[in-house]
Amino acid sequence: MKILHVVALIHASTGGPALSVTRLAREQAKAGHEVALACLDYPDLGPQIEASGVRVVARKGDWLAVRGRGWSPALRSAVVEEARRVDVVHNHGLW
């Protein structure tokens, strides 16, 4: 199965979904699924968590994403493109 996870960010310093989603994605990849993870990258928060076997699709968290509480046209475009190639899109940030 091809799976795409969408989460705000995966910086180790933030905890929460950054940790749980990368762990879930890593375990799904270990189980033989093709897994991608789409997120924003905020370099000021330090390094992103590495998830073995998971392809990370990150777009820079620019001023618009910071001021717009995560809104990023670049990430939206990447997610739309990735969604065309997968069986499941698991969104971890809809609220």
Centroid of chain to Cα 57 = 7
pLDDT digits (tens, 9 = 90+) for 75-84: 999 999 999 9
CA distances 35 to 7, 24, 61, 62, 94, Å, are 13, 10, 22, 25, 20
pTM over cut 0.85: yes
Nearest-angstrom CA–CA distance, 41 and 63? 12
Condensed to tens digits (0 to 9), the pLDDT of residues 24-76 reads: 999 999 999 999 999 999 988 889 999 999 999 999 987 777 766 677 889 99
The predicted structure's pLDDT at residue 47: 92
Distance CA 95, CA 56 (A): 22
What the block records as the tokens of 9 is 């960010």
Strand arrangement, sheet containing 54-60 = 54-60, 34-41, 2-9, 88-91
